[in-house]
């Protein structure tokens, strides 16, 4: 208490000082020594108002000897209804009283009624301690210095993009290959009070947990799986693993999903991967050719066999006749289209000018 009384006397001294605290005209304020420093912003508001006004009015009157003299001076000026000593202050005092009252009423209204939009929750702190969470709609709390409301978006789904911007950001897969993965984490706040009070850096935490979970899942699968059809499975595993870790921190965060936007081999070995694709195409074309051949061959076999069967059916009805008929028909067809020579005597064959015969045939054909 010694200190306070000491301060009190110091304050008194200040006011009594003939120079006056504002004598220098610097206007650095009376606050210097007497006003306790911090955190009374709200509290000082209504009550701090009147003196501040006077202070403003004071500045022009530079060399006043004392407060009373000052007040008298102001009265003489008769300026805009300011207060003063003695009787004349009473009506304006009432004015101040009503102004303060109105201010307080407004204050109460504005700081105790909160409208919370559908996607939001309002976390209410009573003197810094968490007291409740307001749902959407209009929420009523105690006025400001007592209750404070922090509005938090819970429905809004936030995105974090990870990976791949940096060319060196490669992940190791289970078969010790490297893969270049870019993915997105979607999340929202499930429990606003946990989100606010549990983690020092929630966003950074989500990012790190996502990276850790993704790398640990990728390290369990092979490169081909990660690039190919097990992507969906990886996404689900990462989301599940992230959720488990964040829950263990009680982060109040719901992981909505992971989307792998890109999973490619590193640029340095991309050509080799393209080669694989090319040889897959080539192998497929081999197989296609073989299939075409097989189809053709089978059809031909079917056709030949069926034709034979048909003829054979007829042949069985009259074998000898059919056989002769086919023989003659074939011979007709063949012999009518070729040059024929019939030779009676045996042994003459070597002397036949066969090349000439052939030549003449060719000439005939050429003429045709």
Partner 1 sequence: MDFIHRRPLMAAGLLVLLLGLLLSAFPIIPETKQAVVVRFGKPVAVLNQFEAGRPIGAAGAGISFRIPFIDQIVWIDKRVQDVDMQRQQVISTDQRRLEVDAFARYRIVDPLLMYIRAGTEAQLTEQLRPILGSEVRNELGRIEFAQLLTPERQGIMDSVRTSLNKIARQYGVEVLDVRIKRTDLPDGAPLSAAFDRMRTAREQEARSILAEGGKQAQIIRAQADADAARVYAASFGKDPDFYDFYRAMQSYQITFIGDGQEKASPTTIVLSPQNDYLKEFSGRPR
Residues between 270 and 289 with contacts to partner 1, criterion CB under 8 A: 271-273, 275-276, 278-280, 282-287, 289
SS3 state of residue 304: helix
Determine, following the binding rule CB under 8 A, whether residue 109 of this chain makes contact with partner 1.
no
Determine, following the binding rule CB under 8 A, whether residue 11 of this chain makes contact with partner 1.
yes
Selected binder of partner 1 within 112, 188, 198, 222 (CB under 8 A): 198
Determine, following the binding rule CB under 8 A, whether residue 335 of this chain makes contact with partner 1.
yes
Which of 20, 35, 28 minimizes the C-alpha distance to 73?
20
Compare residues 117 and 349 and give the one whose CB is closer to partner 1: 349
Selected binder of partner 1 within 6, 9, 13, 15 (CB under 8 A): 15
Selected binder of partner 1 within 9, 12, 24, 109 (CB under 8 A): 12
3-class DSSP string for 250-281: CCCEEEEEEEEEEEECCHHHHHHHHHHHHHHH
Determine, following the binding rule CB under 8 A, whether residue 206 of this chain makes contact with partner 1.
no
- CA 86, distance to chain mean position in Å, is 70
Burial (CB < 10 A; 0-12, 13-18, 19+), residue 112, is: middle
Residues between 34 and 63 with contacts to partner 1, criterion CB under 8 A: 34-40, 43-44, 47-48, 50-51, 54
Determine, following the binding rule CB under 8 A, whether residue 131 of this chain makes contact with partner 1.
yes
Determine, following the binding rule CB under 8 A, whether residue 294 of this chain makes contact with partner 1.
yes
Determine, following the binding rule CB under 8 A, whether residue 357 of this chain makes contact with partner 1.
yes
Residues whose CB is less than 8 angstroms from the CB of residue 49 and which lie 6 or more positions away in sequence, other chains included: 99, 100, 103
Minimum distance between the CB of residue 16 and partner 1, rounded to whole angstroms? 10
Calculate the alpha carbon distances from 115 to 103, 130, 140, 149 in Å: 21, 19, 9, 11
SS3 state of residue 350: helix
Determine, following the binding rule CB under 8 A, whether residue 94 of this chain makes contact with partner 1.
no
User: 202, 154 in Cβ contact below 8 A?
Assistant: no
Q: How far is 268 from 86, CA to CA, in rounded Å?
A: 91
Q: How far is 155 from 119, CA to CA, in rounded Å?
A: 5
Minimum distance between the CB of residue 212 and partner 1, rounded to whole angstroms? 4
Determine, following the binding rule CB under 8 A, whether residue 323 of this chain makes contact with partner 1.
yes
Compare residues 113 and 295 and give the one whose CB is closer to partner 1: 295
Calculate the alpha carbon distances from 167 to 125, 183, 223, 226, 240 in Å: 46, 14, 18, 18, 27
Minimum distance between the CB of residue 300 and partner 1, rounded to whole angstroms? 7
String of contacts with partner 1 for each residue 208-227, x by CB under 8 A:
xx-xx--xx--xx--x----
Selected binder of partner 1 within 342, 347, 350, 367 (CB under 8 A): 342
With CB under 8 A as the contact rule, which of the stretches 74-82, 110-118, 136-144, 261-269 interacts with partner 1? 261-269
Determine, following the binding rule CB under 8 A, whether residue 249 of this chain makes contact with partner 1.
yes
Q: How many Cα atoms within 13 Å fall on the side-chain side of residue 99?
A: 12
């Amino acid at each position: 208490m010694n200190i306070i009384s000491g301060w009190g006397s110091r304050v008194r001294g200040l006011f009594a000082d003939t120079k006056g605290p504002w004598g220098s005209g610097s206007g650095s304020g009376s606050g210097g020594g007497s006003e306790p420093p911090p955190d009374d912003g709200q509290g000082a508001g209504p009550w701090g108002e009147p003196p501040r006004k006077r202070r403003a009015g004071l500045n022009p009157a530079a060399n006043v000897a004392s407060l009373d003299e000052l007040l008298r001076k102001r009265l003489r000026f008769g300026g805009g209804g300011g207060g003063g000593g003695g009787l004349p202050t009473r009506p304006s005092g009432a004015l101040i009283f009503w102004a303060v009252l109105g201010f307080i009423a407004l204050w109460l209204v504005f700081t105790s009624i909160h409208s919370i939009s559908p996607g939001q929750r309002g976390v209410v702190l009573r003197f810094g301690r968490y007291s409740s969470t307001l749902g959407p709609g209009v929420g009523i709390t105690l006025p400001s210095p007592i209750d404070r409301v922090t509005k938090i978006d819970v429905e809004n789904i936030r995105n974090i993009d990870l990976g791949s911007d940096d060319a060196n950001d490669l992940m190791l897969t289970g078969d010790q290959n490297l893969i270049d993965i870019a993915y997105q984490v979607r999340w929202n706040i499930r429990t606003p009070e946990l989100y606010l009070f549990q983690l020092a850096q929630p966003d950074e935490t989500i990012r790190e947990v996502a990276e850790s979970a993704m790398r640990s899942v990728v390290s369990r699968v092979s490169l081909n799986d990660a690039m190919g059809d097990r992507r969906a499975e990886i996404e689900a595993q990462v989301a599940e693993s992230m959720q488990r870790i964040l829950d263990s921190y009680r982060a109040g965060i719901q992981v909505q999903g992971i989307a792998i936007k890109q999973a490619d081999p590193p640029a340095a070995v991309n050509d080799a991967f393209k080669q694989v694709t090319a040889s897959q195409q080539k192998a497929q074309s081999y197989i296609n050719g073989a299939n075409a051949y097989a189809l053709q061959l089978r059809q031909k076999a079917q056709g030949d066999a069926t034709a034979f069967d048909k003829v054979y059916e007829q042949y069985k009805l009259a074998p000898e006749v059919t056989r002769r008929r086919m023989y003659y028909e074939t011979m007709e067809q063949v012999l009518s289209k070729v040059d024929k020579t019939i030779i009676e005597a045996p042994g003459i064959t070597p002397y036949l000018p066969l090349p000439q015969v052939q030549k003449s045939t060719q000439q005939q054909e050429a003429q045709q």
